[in-house]
Structure 1
Amino acid sequence: MIKFTFTFLILTSFFIISANNNLFAQQETGTVRGVVTDSTNGEVLAFANVFIQSLNRGTSTDRKGLFFLTSIPPNRYYAVTVSYLGYKTKTEHVIVSPGKITEVDFELVPADVELETVEKVAEQIAKEKVTDVGLDKISIKDVERLPRGVETDIFRSLNFLPGVQSAGDISARYYVRGSNSNQNLVMIEGATIYN
């Protein structure tokens, strides 16, 4: 029983000492913080990317250009890289101290963005040109609706169609939607009627 108690005490002590060492190790991390600004006008750059590649950890700046990277293992040399669209990527090297905040500010230089020339090439698709000829067919029922005395004269009955205008009662000329009188053709059952 004494042997069991002694072994239990040694294992418990070893466990407590290890737990305390882990707690102290966790408390002794460092923090990296800073601000990212434009080097030309000093404006803050919101939502810039901040990255420590050796730890595979990163963050983004807030609306005020500030960033915080916490729980960084101390006493090591880190390369902190900042990138932002339209600016040159910048890297600063820092040493993180245990329990302290390491400050590093970045002033990014605008990058000259040179775009490649875009050449747009298109071919016209050959279309079959269809001429839309105005055609109006008048049925027997339409002729019966015309006023009395008009239905027997073909050219007088044309004056009652929409868009048709005649030159007068004496003339057989008529104009459809402003066109010339020589551009109209009247047919009855396929036979051409000349005016």
Structure 2
Amino acid sequence: MYKDSAWSDELEKKKKMLRKAWNKAGKKGADQQKNRDIHRALLKDYNDAQKRFKEKCRRKFYEEADSIPAYARVHKILAKDPTVQVGSLLKPDGKYTENSKDTVEHLLETHFPGCRRPIQEPSERPTVTPNRNDWKFAERMTKRGKVKYAIHKFHSFKSAGLDEIFPALLGRYRAASG
């Protein structure tokens, strides 16, 4: 019931027993001291169980962090400090890259020195407005269920690509749109 949380069924049972003991310990009578001792023992047991469970959750968190791919871990670490940008790389001239295009060019030059991208001339072709048949063809090719399935398969810890769209946002949009 309490998947991935700091609470469990065991703690719930111990809390109920502790509450009952507290109520008994507050009543006046011949067994009042005995009930207080029982309450103290249950309180110690409850606190110890809570500490053990928190430690178990902490261990599980770190084990799961090891299973996250390295690039996602780096992104997670960098996300903690808003002044650090994922795309900010130090260039050989001592300056930082300023945008994603600059970052990609720097990475290409660093890892593939001498490799040049072909210069793309702006297209002089006129823009074509799609007609009804084009839209029907596109609809046949992209079934709504297939697109939803593909978006659902995006990992939430993936960083944004060059289009600067985070896959997690698409997943949230899908959840919101139903």
Do they superpose with TM above 0.5? no
Higher alpha-carbon Rg: 1
The structure richer in helix per residue is: 2
The structure richer in strand per residue is: 1
Query: What's the TM-score, normalizing by structure 2?
Result: 0.24
Query: What's the TM-score, normalizing by structure 1?
Result: 0.22
